[in-house]
Structures are given as C-alpha cells and as structure tokens.
Structure 1
Amino acid sequence: MPQWDDRPLVGREAELARLLAVVDRALQGHPSAVLLAGDAGVGKTRLLDELAARAAERGLRVLTGHCVDLGDVGLPYLPFVDLLRAVAAGSGQPGLPELLSGRGAPAVPELPAGDAADLGRPLVRRPVADGGRLQLFESVAALLGELAAQTPLLVVLEDVHWADRSSRDLLRYLLARLSDEPVALVASYRSDDLHRRHPLRPLLAELVRLPLVERLELAPLPDAAVGELVRSLAADVPDRTVEDVVARAEGNAFYAEELLAAGLDGETLPMGLTDVLLARVEQLGEAAQQVLRVAAVAGRRVRHDLVAAVSGLPPVELDAALAEAVHHHLLVVSDDGRYRFRHALLREAVLADLLPGERVRLHATTARYLAGNPGAGTAAELAHHARGSNDLAGAFSASLEAAAEACRAGAPAEQLQHLEAALALWPAVPDAAARAGGDQSALLLDSAAAARTAGEPQRAVALIRSALTLLGPDGDPIERARVHYRLAQALSRVEDQAAAYQESSRAMALVPADPPSPVRTWAAATHARTSWSLGRRAEADAAADEALASADALGLDSAWADTAVSLARMRGGSDPTRWLEEALVRARRSGDTDVEVRVLFNLATVPYEAGDVGAALRRVDEGLARAAELGVEWSYYGAELRHLGVSARYVAGDWDGSLELADRLARVPEMAAHVRAAGLLVQVGRGDPTAAERVVWARGLTGRLDAHVLLELAAAGAEIDLAAWAGDAATAVERVRAAVRHVRTYWDVDRLAVLRLVATALAPVGDAAAAARSQGDEAAVRRWTGVGEELVAQARAAVEDRVRDVGPFGVEAAAWQARVEAEAARLAGRAAPELWRAAVDAFGYGHVYEQARSRWRLAEALLAAGDRAAAAEELRAAAEVAARLGATPLRSAVTALARRGRLDLPGVGRVPAAAAVFTPREAEVLRLLAQGRTNRQIGAELYMSEKTASVHVSRILAKLGAGGRTEAVALAAARGLLTPAPG
C-alpha cells in the first residue's frame, strides 16, 4: 500500500470536497477529470495525497505518475510509465512496452531512418509507419479500461507543466476517449510557470472544453488557515513566530512549513525562500547534504544504486545519510523504492547552490555510471548528464540513441528533439560521422522525417534546406538531386507549390534520364505532381510518362504506383479507377504505406467528384479501415481520407456520422486540424450554440498555420455560414474576401473551392440589398449590389481559370456555380425561379442539405412570380429535410417564408391575412415603417398629423407585442403581415 503524506491538511475542505465528488462519480461508473492548478508550494501535492488516501479508503485503485524537470531531456511518456510501473510489477512484466504488448501496440514499432518510401528511401515494410503512436494511445486507454473494469481508478498526474509533448498528446487522447469507464483523472500543474508561450497552455484551453473536464484553482490559504497549519506542525509555537510565518508565507503552505522548520532553532527567520530551504539542508550532516546534491543533479526521483555509485559513500554511511534526509522530510521514499524530493522547490534550491565545477563533476560521475550500467537509465538521461559534464562526444552518441529510443516508443516529437540536439553538437565532435554512421546531411534528412511524423512540416522543410546548403553546389549530383526532390515533396505539403516546382526542376536537371535510375525516377514522379499543380500540363505529362516507364523498367512498384495516381488525377479519362486499382496492387506489393493510402484516398475521391457520394463513402470506410490497420490514420493521406469522409457524410445528410468521424480521435496533429474543423458545418447547420466557440478555435489555428488551405476553407466556410444565418452580411463579406485572397496565394490555378464560400456569402448580401430596396435606401442598394457583384466576378474568374488551365470540373463545383448565378439574379432584384430550379437540380446529385436550402430560395422566387402552389411544394420538401437533419436555422427560415407568403406548411398552421390583424390605415403605416420612415414622414405621406401617426405606430407595436419599431417590422415580416407597396 502506498504511503501518503501524513502532514495535516488545513484550509482545503472545499477543494477536497470537489475532488472527492469526482471520485464518487467514478464509483458510480462515470468518468471525469480535474485540472488542478496552483502556484508552486501552494499545496497541490498535499491535497492530492489526501485525495489518494480517501480514494483508497473508498475502494478505488490509485495510480500516480510524476513529470520531472530535466531541462532539455525528452523522456517520452514518463508519467504514464511511472503510473503503470506498479501494474507492470504486479503482472511480473518490467516495463510499459512489455505491459502493452498483446494489446495492439507493437513492443518495438519500426520507423525507417530518413523519409518515408515515397521520398525515395529504400522501401521498408513497416506495420506502423507512424511509430505505433495511435496503437500505443489506444493500448493505454484499453489497459486503463481493463483495470477500471476490475476496480474503479483514480489516476493522478503530477506536475504536467513539465510533461513531454508525447505525454501531453496521450493525456489529450485519454480525456477525449473516456466515455463510460469508472475512471477519475486528476492532473496538477504550476499555474505560475505557465508563461504565454508555454506548450501546456493550448492543451489546457482545449481540455477545459471537454464535458468531463473541470478546472480547480488552488488559491493561497487564508491567514487563519496558515496559522492553524503552523500550530499543527509544532507544539507551543510562540504567537510571534506564528504571526511572522503567516505574514511572510503569503498563503503558501510549503513556504509556511519551511519558514517554521528553519526558524525553530534560531531567533530570526531567513529572509528569502532559497535561504529558508538551504537552511533546512544545512541542518543535515555533510554525508546527507552530499546525497541531496547527487539526487538534485540526477533528478527529482532517483534510484538507490545511482545515489550509491555517484556519492561514493560507504554503504553504512550512505544508509545513514539517506535516513537523515528522509527523517528531516527532505527526501521521500516512493512506493517503487526510489527517492524523491518532497517538493520540487527543494531540488531547485539545492541545484542553484552548487558551484559550477561541482555540478560538472556530479554530471560526469552520473554519466559514467549510466554508460557503464545499461538499464540503469535511459539514453536521454545519459545525453543530459554528458552535456552537463561537457562530454560533447558522449552527449552526441547518447542523443542519437535517445532518438532511436523515442522512435521505438512512438514519440516522434522527442525523437526530433534528440536528433536536433545531435545536430547542434556535430561541429564539436570530430568523429561525428563515424558515430552517426553517415554524414551530416543524412542526419538532417532523418531529422526532417521525424519532424514530418511529429506534425511539423515547416520544420521538415527547414531541415531539408539545411541539408541542401550543406551539400553545396559542388556536392555529389545524385545526392543533391535526392535532396531537391525530397524538398519539393515537403514544400508541396505546406502548399508552397511554386517553390516545390523549382526544387523538382533542379532535381531533374541534376540526373540524366538515360540510363534510368531510382533517383531520376522519383525526381520525375515528383516533378509530374509539382508541374500539374501549377497548370504546366505538357511538362507534367512528359515527367509522368518518363517516371512510369522507368519505374516499370527498374521494378520500382512504389514509384510506379505513385506516378499512376498522378496520371489518374492529371488525365482522368473515362475510367481513372483502372489506373488506381493497379496502383493499389503495386503499392501494397512494395510495402509503401504512404503511397498505398494515397491510392486509397484517390479511389474515394473519383466517385465523390463524379457525384456518387454513396460509392465514395464505401471507399472512404475501406480506406480508413486499412489506414487504421497500418497505423497511419493521421498521416497526410490518412487525414485526407478522414476529411473526405467527414465532408461526404455531411453532403449525404448523415450529420451524426459526420460529427462522429470528425471527433473520433482526440490526438489530431495541427496539420490535420481541418478534419475536425470540417465538422463545424454540421454544428452551424444545426444552430449549435457552441459553433461560434469552435469557429474561434479554428480561426486561431489558421493564424498559426497560414499555408493550411483546407483548414482555412473549413474555418471560413463555417464562419461565413454562421454569419449568413445571423444576417451579418458585413462579416460574411469580410471573411470571404480574406479566404479568396488566401486561396489565391496558394492555389492560384485551381481555386474552385471559393465557389462555395462566395455562394454562401452572397445570401446575406442579397438579403441586405433586398432590405435596402424595401426601405427605399438607394445608397445601401448600390453599396450591397456592388459588393455582391465583386464576389460574383471572383467566382466566375475561378471557373474560367480552372477550365482554361486544368479542365472540366465535377458535379459539386457545378452545383455551387449554379447557386452563384441564382444568387447573382437575386442580388439584382430578379426572382429568376428558373435559376433556382437549376440550383436545386444541380444539388440533386446527393447534397441533401444544400438542395433543401436551394428549394427554400426557389420557393421565395416562385412566390415573387405568383406561383403559390409550386412554392408550397418546394417549402414542404425543404421543411422535411430540415426536420430530418435537425437543421434549425433552415427550418426557421422555411417557416418564416411560409408565414410571409401565407402558405400552409405542416407544423406552422394557417397564417392569418394582414387585414385580419390590422386596419387598412395601420397596414399603410406598417408598410412605411418597414421603409424606415419617421412619424413625421408617415404623417406627411398619409395626410395625418405626426401625433396621429404616433398613435397608429403604438397600436401596431401593441398588436405585435414588439418593444420597438425595428422589432415590429421584423415580427410582421416573419408572420407574413407586411403588405406590398401599391403599384
């Protein structure tokens, strides 16, 4: 049984009650989580100790993991390894990988050195191309679920402000994954450590939006509670000492304890906290102080054998020194037998007091022990101590091994961290190439591959550029060509197509086409894609033909498959699927998972663009299942498959399925954020009150990921639609202009995506123009008409450019083109039911919601044309779809139109005629009110006094139950009570 702190807990009754409520929910079978924040020393650890003890008494199993501050060392998943260590010990298994083997996570996931096979590296068959990351996450979740099924769990993660990135990602995954497991999770962090750019801040902002997560802030203790704490810690404390401690502790429990302990043997208390802490240390004997110094350098948690080896103390003296440190409450013995500082501030004070030479010697001794005792620590720890002792060569080798360990653990962010540490040390290590087994450019390319896997494509580009600079213009042409086309591929993934084309062109120029070679083949395959992206069709065709022929001749199935996909997209033809099916066979035969998933994505895209949404969804589901099997769900094309699935389900009217797929996995790399953002259209379409908050989230990401066009399109589309339903034409116009500029920057040739944005924004613009006409505001009519015509011109230009530079487009773009033309007519004041009928028919390919939305506008046009029967039929069809989808804004718009037109609609009821509500004179006054007339103007036009006009206005407001003139007009319009102007 773990031993928890027995110090008194005072002043935290309310906070403890909230935490125990979380424990009680776990006992009832419901998961929940608390993010416990507070300054250093305010009492987080003590509160958690009390919680753990109470939870154990109530029958929960308590698992605790600690994060450790080791500076630049990345120890992936450290707190989870820590908390599951007790589980592993109980099962007789020594570590997390072994513990999870057999649960779907590979014990040693493989990731090929350097870039993946589509970048021209030797092909490696790997079951988990992303390092087993998602399998590991799911395995941890499944393991906790299994444990919780036996006994409800309390999972405590301390000091997550020091958590590595992989642990933060796993925490995010677990909190989003928990649904019905009896698990209570509490994570603590120092709020005073969270500077503006701290990596934990964005995660906290995301986690607090999860329904099962709450935040608890530990405020400083009240003076009375501090006084109670001081008196409970020691008997007969003089009142003066109590008052002194209370005044200077400022509500911090740890400060109070240390001030009291340091002041008991003297008349005055030290002035600074560091002095207080060191005074406690100096009360110990020299051997105990040496033990503390060793422990401080080693880390907050340290093994007994390491302390023994590094301190150099004889066993008897060592035992006595450790006992002294423990008995003075400076070190605590953890349940796994390790020693840890009772508080991180203690370790920080001891570290700060070390002389530079002393610190270097301790690091050196620790590094020698770790190097000579495999298994005593990780390569990351060895690298840390080697750097601390100025052993740069040792740090270099250890960093490379730490990168390999991080890769095997499925932690690409930490792998990149260690590779970049090795790169920084390269100039200072004479035999770096021999130690690395390759030159510096190879290490740069390996680092770029890790950056891409970690979801940092821009960093990957920078690293590949560095490799190119290192090779120089006089470097080996084959190697330079290899780096050029890899840079081209990396640039394509950050939407810099012009630069990508330049790099693939340079690769082609460096290697002759004859004789065929793997490097030239991949250069040509890459050049085909980059040329096509810029509308250079002849150049793209020639490069693709060459790549296909040479790949066939050399037996490069992966290159052949990759090129075949490009050809299928470039040339299309009557049956592009034939090309793709053969590409799939070859990609699988080659073992190149990246190309295979690219093929699967395009097999789903072809039917989607042809308007066969059902077939596209079947292909999407098959592709996602295969991506999950391969462990590449968040690879570039894995994410694109999921994005297509979210969009296709939205189009097909499966809105619940669309949202579920968008949010299925919590770990979403930033470059795949468009997947989750695509679900915003469902939220906006349903009038979800949280949609605006999610739009803000997506907008914040677009600010950081400027080149992520798909994310911009998803965020802008949702924001424009939100503004459209709110009648906010100004915001819709602002957002569509920014989005069009953004798309033009990165997709200048093929920017048909702006059609949807423009069509959606034209709706509120057309409404604003119509309102201005009804009010006789000619200036506003001209303003809104001009704005709308500008948007229509941009949409038409996008169509013309696409047809000229790329060729014909699919049915979805054609439907949005029809919508733009119908909105253009409405903008000009023309009903044009024939154009709205064309839009309805165009969306009939399978876009359920937009067809219903077009039917609503068609009904409006038919009413204006006097065809009431046809208008009622269209409204009934639109209302049925709106009800089925839960599309509240559309349903409200359909209902309002039925009332204005006095059409019978199921669920709306019969709408009374205006004559049944208002007298003829009131109807005339209401009509002028809608035109924005004042009482004086109404009186002048109707030949009555201003006072009489005011009386009529008051009666109208009373009949409508309106609080003002504007509200009265809006209510009358919604109820169909506005009469048209005479003539």
Structure 2
Amino acid sequence: MGRAREIAALESAVDRAAAGRGSAVLVAGDAGVGKSRLLDELAARAAGRGLRVLTGHCVDLGEVGLPYLPFVDLLRPVAAELGEGAAGLFAARARAAESDGADLDAAVRALRPPVDDGRLQLFEAVAGALASLAAQAPVLVLLEDLHWADRSSRDLLRYLLARLADEPVAVVASYRSDDLHRRHPLRPLLAELVRLPGVERLDLGPLPDPAVEELVRGLAAGVDDRTVDDVVARAEGNAFYAEELLAAGLAGETLPWALTDVLLARVEQLSPAAQQVLRGVAVAGRRVRHELLSAVGGLSDGDLERALAEAVHSHLLVVDPDGAYRFRHALLREAVLADLLPGERVRLHAAVAAHLAAVPGAGTAAERAHHLQESNDLPGALMASLEAADEAGRAGAPAERLQHLEAALALWPAVPDAAARAGRSQVELLKQTSAAARRSGELHRAVALLRAAQDVLGPDGDPVMRAKVHYTLAQALARIEDQAAAVSETSAAMALVPADPPSLARTWAAATHARACYEVGRRAEGDAAAEEALASADTLGLDSAWADVAVSLARSHGGEELPARLEEALVRARRSGDPDVEMRVLFNLAIVAYEAGASEETLRWSDVGLARARELGVEWSFYAAELRHLGVVSRYVRGDWDGSLALADRLARMPEMAAHVRAAGLLVQVGRGDPVAAERIAWARGLVGRLDAHVLLLLATAGAEIDHAAWTGDPATAVRAATDADAALRRLWGPERLAVLRLVTTALAPVGDAVAAARLAGDAAAAAEWTAAGEALLALGREAVEDHTRSVGPHGVEAAAWLARMEAEAARLAGRAEPALWAAAVEAFGYGHVYEEARCRWRLAEALVAAGDREAALAPLTAAAATARSLGAAPLLDAVTALARRARLELPGAGRVVDAAAVFTPRETEVLALLARGRTNRQIGRELYISEKTASVHVSNILAKLGASSRTEAVAVAASRGLLPTG
C-alpha cells in the first residue's frame, strides 16, 4: 500500500535482468517502514514472471558473526534442489573445500573457506554459480538486513556486483538507514557501491497517511474513525508501528510493551549522558531548543554537546533547519517517557516549567500548563490553562480552546481558591467551555457541560444565570434533534426572568423559545415570543438577538420577501459580532436558495459562509458544518462532482456531528462506481447506529446505500434502507419527513428492475413479490407528500421533481411504458440536477423503446451518455450503452451494434426467444416441432456462445448485448 513508485523502480531492475543485463538496488529505510513487505511483493511478482528468486537474510549475532551467512542462506535451497549436481556449480571452489567439520553439504560448505587466501576462488565460485543459474532463467537475489552483514559477506557482495554486471542477475539488498551511525562498517561500502554502473539506491520513506489508513482498516474491519486517526497520527508512516498501535488500541493499551522494548533497545546502547539528554528532550516536548536542554539537562556545555552529537549520529534525534532537536519518531519519545521513574519525571517537568516562566517568549501558555500540571503545580496549571484557552480563542482555534478549558475544569476541584484565581465562577467556566464545544462541532459535549452547570447552580441558584443556562442548553438540544427537550428548557428560562423590564436574559430566552416553538408546531406561542423578543431587542440594541428572531420568523412564515428579510438579518448579525447568529443567517440564505432550485445562488452563499467561518475560526460549528454539507450536495446536483468530493474531504479533522458532510460525498463515489464506496457506506452506517438522531447523516447514508443497491442489482437492500429511513424520519421529524420521497423513489428503480427481470423469466411469484414491495414504497412516498402538504404547505421544485420520477417509476413497476411520465421527470429535474436529469433521460429512452419508438429514443439516450461521460458516472454509462445495444441503436462512442444473425443461427434465435419466455426444453421442442434432445443441444450452444452458466443468465446477457429477439 502506498508503494507504487517504489515497486515500479524495483520491477525496472527485474526488467533489466530479464533482458539479460545485471542491475542492483540498495533499499534503505527505517525499521518497520515496510522493506521486507516490499521485497516479498517483488519476489512474488518476479517469480510470477519466471525468474528464479534467491533470498538471503543477515542476522544480528553481535560480535561473533557467521561469515557468508546470507549467501549460505540463499544458496542452500539450490544445493538441496540439485543434490549431487550442486558440486558442478561450485567446481572452482570444490577442490579447495576440504572437510571443515560443518554439518552442511559439500556445495554449501564450499562457501566457508578455512583460510583467507582462498577467498578469490570462493568469490568466483559463487559468481559462477549464480551465472550458471541465470543461464537457465534470470535470477533475482534478495538480501535482507544488510546492516547486520559480516565483513566477509560485505566483501562478497562488492565482488558480485562488479562481476555480474553483464549477467541476467538482479540484486536487491535492504538495510536499516536508522541503524547506520557514523562509524557503521556498511557506510563506506554503500558509498563505493552506488558508484558502480547499474547500482541504484532507493530510499523507502514513511507511508503517506492515506496508505496507513488503508492498512489499518484492512487489518481490522469496522474499526472506528477515532482509533484510525490516532494510529495514523502516531505511526507517522511506519507500517510496523501502525500494526502494533492498532493491536494495542483494540486491547486498550497505551503503548504496547513489545514496541516499547524495540524502541528502547537502541536507546540503551548509548552512553549515560546521551540517555540523560534523551530523557530531557522527551519531557521538554516534541521540538526542543539547545538553550532549554542546557538549562534543564544537568550537564556541562561540553558534555551536553557530546551527548547530543551521539544521539544525533545514532539517528535517535534529528536537527531541524532552525536548530531545534526532535526525536526521529514520535513513538520513540513516548517509549522514553514511559521508561522514566515518577520522581525524575516530576523533577524534569518542574525544571522545564521554571525555564519557560523565567525566559520571555520561551514557550506558550499551553506548554507551561502541561509542565506545571505534570510537576504537580496545580494552581499554576489552572491559570496557565485559562491563559492558553484565551490564546487559542484569539488564534481562531476552538478545538484547542475547548481542550484547555476542559483541562481547567478538571483542575478546578483540586485548587481551593480556583474562583478567586480565575476571576470567574465554575458555572461561568462551564458555559465558556460549552460555547467552545459548540464552535468545535462537539454538540453532545456542549449539552453535557450545560447540564453540569445546572447541577452546580441547583434549584436555588441565581435566576438570571439559571435562565441563561436553560436557553443556551435549548439551543444545543435543538441542534441534536431533541426539540421537545429544547421547548422544556426555553419554557423554564421564560419562567425565571420577568418580561418587564426588558433584559438581555429575557430577550434571548424569548428568542430561543420562539425558535423552539416553531420547530414543534406551536406557532401562536412562537409568534408571541418572537414579537416580545424583537421589541426588547430593539429597545436594548441587541442586534444579535434581533437577527436570530428575524430568521425564525422569516423561515416560519415564508413569503416572497424571505431573502430580503434574511439579508437584513445578516447586516444586523455582522454588526453584533456574534458568529453563531451570523452563521445561522448565512445558512438560511443558502438553504432558501437551495429549496427554490437556485443551486448557483446556493453555492454563492455557501462559499461566502464557509469563507466567513474560516475567518472567524468556527469551521466546524453547527451552521458552518451545515453550509459545508450544502456546498457538497449543491455541487453534486450541479454536476461538479470533483468539487463535491474535494469539499467533503477537505478538512482532516471532523467531529462526529459533522460526519454527514463527508457522507454526502458518497453519492459521487456511488455514481462513479468507485470500488471503495461499499466500504465507506459501511463506515457511515456504523456512525448512524451511534448517532441515532443525526438525521442528515441518516439521509446521506441511506441515499448512498440505496443508490449503490440500485446499481448493483440489490433490491432487497434498497427496500430495507428506504423503509428503515422512513421509520426513523417518522419518529424524529413526523409529518415533515418529505426527504423520504427521494429515498423511496431511488429504491423503486432496482425494485422495478427485479419485477421486469422476473416477468422476462416467466417467474410470476417473484414478479408479484417485488411488485408488492414496490407498491409499499409508493405508499410511503405518497403519504409523506400528503403529510407535508397538510402540515407545512406546498413543496418546492426538488420535491416536485422526485414526485414526477416516483410516478414514472410507478408506471414501470406496473409494466407500463409511459414516455410522457419520464419526459415530465426529465423536465422537472431540468431545474439544475444534472445527474438525475440524465438518469431520467435514460429511462425515457427505455420507455420509448418499449413503446416501439426506437428512433425517438436515440436523442435522450445520447444526451444521457454525454452527461455520464462528463461526470465519470460509469454505472450510468454502462446502463445507457446496454440499452442502446438492446434497442439496436447506434450510440456515438458505444461501439458498433452486433447483429444477432452474426452470433446465432436462425434456429438458435428461435430457441432464445422461447428461453426468454421461460419455456422448458420439452416445451421448446413442441413449439418448434423438434425433439427435446435437439432443443437441449440448441440451448447448450446458446449458453456457450454467451458464456452463461444458466438459462436465466443467458437471457440476461443476451438482453444486455442487444441480442434478444424482439416481437
């Protein structure tokens, strides 16, 4: 995974060997980065091409090495294979190989000379043996872990690379680059070898993050995204580390002991001073300046410099361009930290904290907070955490602000005078932390923090503060689809603060209560609260509250002036400086345009809103995420599929409540027939199971799953997904579940296909079963439309288009060719839904062919094909092409239509027509006045020509290729 460039370079060496020229590649990489896996893959590919693959392994035997061990290893299988004939391969050396007491056979024993003066004969014997083998078939020699090779093996390798330059032998040797300290004996050999002709060096760097993610998901199906993200971040491209971290994460470990031992083994080889420096760097942070190490390391300047040089030359520390030191790999730092004794850890953290406090600009408040807490200075850590939260807020980093505020909350009970030190109450800190959670997209966390604030306040707390917590909690609850609880909270807030005199708390309580009442259909109560809130907002000059109420009123009452009212609200929201209200106004401007079918206007407001969210540092707040979701969907509708996918995946970090943004991109992956679509749908379905009330995630996932089922011929999955989604929407949205119309209509497509296939095969039972399933879906769709009309009012252009397609699908389900209905659907989706318009054109062409108007079908079919090509919609293009073949229409770019007479004899054509009607061999014989045996022979011939394994498959294949007789 993620090694396409590297494997291509290695295969080039194999190509040269296959062409009769020698070549060599020296593969360098850190331990665990994937060298062995890469060589295994190369070996498999080379063996598949007919090369003889010989593999030798070097082993770490310390000071007592076995000479020529890797070559003994790689030639032992050859000697075993050839038996007595092996001696011929080593004739040049066999005479010098007297008995030396080894338990190897003579051919292998010849590789171990008793004295140095026989080395030339030995080297030539090995070279001659490899050349002899290569004369039979090209040879690939793999040598692993060359950094452990003994001196004799290194000398032999040097000789072979020079001697075999003109032989069909490829040599690939791997070694650990992180083990090559300055005086390592392999260093001079590598410098010499790369100067030889035909010898190349290949540096195997860390895997890219997407490849590590693919590796992790492949190792553990269904692993949650948080675990995947954690492993990818910590592994830093090292495949071995990723595997170990995944296993540890699934077992609940922080850092697996096996991995810790591997990492610390290299640390323990250093001098005590160098190990002391590594412990200081591990505690100080990821990147450490020299002056900090000098202040906390406890070493003289000379000793410190020597220790740092040793750590750097041993490839444990690296020096950044700005002079800072850091560990070569973050997990090495984790291992060193884990090995520290508690007292040493506290002492080092205290020393670092003291240095950061004494030297202006030496570190951030976040760094000081960390070191103060680790050194058990909890009051200092509390104040530094609050300072760090303020810095994060000014930097537009709400997630980091949330992290620091939560750290302060955790320290609060341990600091006796926390309120006096912090200059705020615990309730105020809880509210601030909740606001940071909302701006980070962590809505459930925001709710939990506000409920904690209610517990701290109790029933006798300050009424104004209790009211503020109530209406703030209501706003968060509404965003996680708990509308009933939101109304309860706003009602409590209204009861705590009097309407007269007007106050900030009462104004916001009324504004939030109006919004909550509208959501549950209590319009009269909502109107009264909105009127009060508008009046008091004007009196107090609260532009943010005025804008919020204006949005609620405008969305509730609608009308032609709706966009103008929203733009006025936007002016006030921006003037107020309240980012939450501004994002809400921008989202409503975008969604109103989307509901009107004005996708270009939708994108304009979506892009404006996202740019403003970036500017304010609230990209994953609720309405900013909704704007991003709308941008993804709008681009999909307009046919900008590349832009849709890019926007869905643009930000790596994604809170779970914004998962619908990424899930919305699934429609593009399904529409293009992307092979990873099924896996990503399973990921989204797992999130739906955890986030029960996340309706937009449910809709995105169900829509993609149904569409995928439609293209893969899985009507059962389509019906199940649509039915489940309808049940969930009834529970969460009640009569306002018009969104289910798209789902049931999309699900009707594979159901209609199943009915048509059953009728074609003469399976009346299956046709009846799928017809009943389709009629049940139709009932769900029509009921949703009726409920919406009754409780909300007329639907918009998008719903009208889906309704038109649903009625066309209903006709297809009943077996009626209704070109007029499909033409109406094409026209309805002409408001700007490029893909659905093309799909309806395909079905229109199908209906025209079924109605006998083949010539009229060509125009919509050609238009559908052009759209499918421009979008990269492979499944749609395949379906359009298949229809053209069945209808025997010459579709541009689809190839020539094959005449059935060129494939089947006239009698086979007659038999195929009867097969399509579900006739048995006996019935075919009777109808054609031939014997049952002769009918069977014709059927067998038809199956063979079509490459089909059954009669049903033969009919389906013939239909898809336009070979099925008509009439």
**Shared fold (TM-score, shorter chain, > 0.5):** yes
Call closer, same or farther: CA 1:488–1:919 in 2, change over 3 Å. Answer: same
Matched residue type, 2:631? G
Matched residue type, 2:524? A
Alignment correspondent of 2:540: 554
Give 5+ residue unaligned stretches, structure 2.
Answer: 1-23, 36-144, 149-174, 192-202, 244-257
CA distance in structure 2 between the partners assigned to 1:457 and 1:359 by the alignment:
36
Match of 1:14 among 21, 27, 52: 27
CA distance in structure 2 between the partners assigned to 1:526 and 1:49 by the alignment:
68
Call closer, same or farther: CA 1:526–1:15 in 2, change over 3 Å. Answer: farther
Displacement, 1:389? Answer: 4.1
Call closer, same or farther: CA 1:745–1:156 in 2, change over 3 Å. Answer: farther
Residue 721, structure 1, aligned to residue 707, structure 2: yes
Alignment correspondent of 2:565: 579
Residue 202, structure 1, aligned to residue 237, structure 2: no
Judge which range, 799-808 or 901-910, deviates more.
Answer: 901-910
Matched residue type, 1:731? T
Call closer, same or farther: CA 1:46–1:401 in 2, change over 3 Å. Answer: farther
Displacement, 1:952? Answer: 0.8
CA distance in structure 2 between the partners assigned to 1:346 and 1:890 by the alignment:
51
The equivalences for 1:907-918 within 5 A come to 907-908=893-894, 911=897, 918=904
Call closer, same or farther: CA 1:787–1:355 in 2, change over 3 Å. Answer: same
Call closer, same or farther: CA 1:782–1:508 in 2, change over 3 Å. Answer: farther
Call closer, same or farther: CA 1:577–1:207 in 2, change over 3 Å. Answer: farther
Call closer, same or farther: CA 1:929–1:411 in 2, change over 3 Å. Answer: same
Residue 500, structure 1, aligned to residue 479, structure 2: no
Match of 2:474 among 480, 488, 491: 488
Displacement, 1:544? Answer: 2.3
CA distance in structure 2 between the partners assigned to 1:349 and 1:564 by the alignment:
57
CA distance in structure 2 between the partners assigned to 1:504 and 1:219 by the alignment:
48
The equivalences for 1:581-620 within 5 A come to 581-620=567-606
Contact 1:43 1:254 in 2 (8 A): no
Contact 2:702 2:721 in 1 (8 A): yes
Post-superposition CA distance 1:886-934 (Å, at most 9, x none): 4332233233223333445444577577577655643443234335555
CA distance in structure 1 between the partners assigned to 2:679 and 2:818 by the alignment:
37
Matched residue type, 1:573? G
Alignment correspondent of 2:411: 425
CA distance in structure 2 between the partners assigned to 1:884 and 1:354 by the alignment:
60
Alignment correspondent of 2:663: 677
Alignment correspondent of 1:753: 739
Indicate the SS of the match to 2:830.
helix
CA distance in structure 2 between the partners assigned to 1:735 and 1:802 by the alignment:
21
The equivalences for 1:374-773 within 5 A come to 374-666=360-652, 668-773=654-759
CA distance in structure 2 between the partners assigned to 1:588 and 1:623 by the alignment:
12
Contact 2:29 2:204 in 1 (8 A): no
CA distance in structure 2 between the partners assigned to 1:961 and 1:883 by the alignment:
28
Residue 798, structure 1, aligned to residue 780, structure 2: no
CA distance in structure 2 between the partners assigned to 1:216 and 1:350 by the alignment:
21
Call closer, same or farther: CA 1:18–1:762 in 2, change over 3 Å. Answer: farther
Indicate the SS of the match to 1:849.
helix
Contact 1:604 1:619 in 2 (8 A): yes
Displacement, 1:761? Answer: 0.9
Judge which range, 859-868 or 714-723, deviates more.
Answer: 859-868
Displacement, 1:431? Answer: 1.0
Call closer, same or farther: CA 1:656–1:454 in 2, change over 3 Å. Answer: closer
Instruction: Report which of the two structures shows the higher radius of gyration computed on alpha carbons.
Output: 2
CA distance in structure 1 between the partners assigned to 2:332 and 2:259 by the alignment:
18
Displacement, 1:295? Answer: 6.4
Call closer, same or farther: CA 1:840–1:534 in 2, change over 3 Å. Answer: same
Alignment correspondent of 1:856: 842
Displacement, 1:953? Answer: 0.8
CA distance in structure 1 between the partners assigned to 2:370 and 2:636 by the alignment:
50
CA distance in structure 2 between the partners assigned to 1:591 and 1:769 by the alignment:
58
Matched residue type, 1:954? S
Call closer, same or farther: CA 1:800–1:207 in 2, change over 3 Å. Answer: farther
Matched residue type, 2:489? E
Call closer, same or farther: CA 1:821–1:196 in 2, change over 3 Å. Answer: closer
Call closer, same or farther: CA 1:345–1:598 in 2, change over 3 Å. Answer: closer
CA distance in structure 2 between the partners assigned to 1:743 and 1:219 by the alignment:
40
Judge which range, 735-744 or 461-470, deviates more.
Answer: 735-744
CA distance in structure 2 between the partners assigned to 1:816 and 1:673 by the alignment:
25
Matched residue type, 1:477? P
Alignment correspondent of 2:137: none
Indicate the SS of the match to 1:825.
helix
Contact 1:477 1:510 in 2 (8 A): yes
Call closer, same or farther: CA 1:636–1:48 in 2, change over 3 Å. Answer: farther
Post-superposition CA distance 1:944-977 (Å, at most 9, x none): 4442122111232344455653442122112333
Contact 1:749 1:802 in 2 (8 A): yes
Contact 1:517 1:554 in 2 (8 A): yes
CA distance in structure 2 between the partners assigned to 1:48 and 1:794 by the alignment:
71
Matched residue type, 2:449? L
Judge which range, 906-915 or 712-721, deviates more.
Answer: 906-915
Matched residue type, 2:667? L
Call closer, same or farther: CA 1:409–1:896 in 2, change over 3 Å. Answer: same
Displacement, 1:435? Answer: 1.3
Alignment correspondent of 1:243: none
Displacement, 1:446? Answer: 1.3
Displacement, 1:818? Answer: 1.8
CA distance in structure 2 between the partners assigned to 1:978 and 1:202 by the alignment:
52
Contact 1:584 1:599 in 2 (8 A): yes
CA distance in structure 1 between the partners assigned to 2:330 and 2:962 by the alignment:
70
Call closer, same or farther: CA 1:819–1:539 in 2, change over 3 Å. Answer: farther
Call closer, same or farther: CA 1:405–1:833 in 2, change over 3 Å. Answer: same
Displacement, 1:351? Answer: 6.4
Alignment correspondent of 2:84: none
CA distance in structure 1 between the partners assigned to 2:475 and 2:567 by the alignment:
24
CA distance in structure 1 between the partners assigned to 2:747 and 2:233 by the alignment:
29
Give the fraction of aligned pairs with identical amino acids, expressed as a percent: 67
Alignment correspondent of 2:823: 837
Alignment correspondent of 1:947: 933
Displacement, 1:841? Answer: 2.8
Post-superposition CA distance 1:376-403 (Å, at most 9, x none): 4443343334334443323322322233
Query: How many correspondences in the alignment?
Result: 771
CA distance in structure 2 between the partners assigned to 1:782 and 1:206 by the alignment:
54
Contact 2:761 2:952 in 1 (8 A): no
CA distance in structure 1 between the partners assigned to 2:563 and 2:399 by the alignment:
37
Match of 2:873 among 867, 887, 905: 887
Call closer, same or farther: CA 1:45–1:630 in 2, change over 3 Å. Answer: same
Displacement, 1:432? Answer: 0.9
CA distance in structure 1 between the partners assigned to 2:260 and 2:434 by the alignment:
48
Displacement, 1:845? Answer: 2.3
Contact 1:291 1:307 in 2 (8 A): yes
- Greater relative contact order: 1 or 2 (C-alpha under 8 angstroms, separation 6 or more)? 1
Alignment correspondent of 2:197: none
Indicate the SS of the match to 1:438.
coil
CA distance in structure 2 between the partners assigned to 1:458 and 1:847 by the alignment:
35
Post-superposition CA distance 1:612-645 (Å, at most 9, x none): 3344344444444554555544443333333323
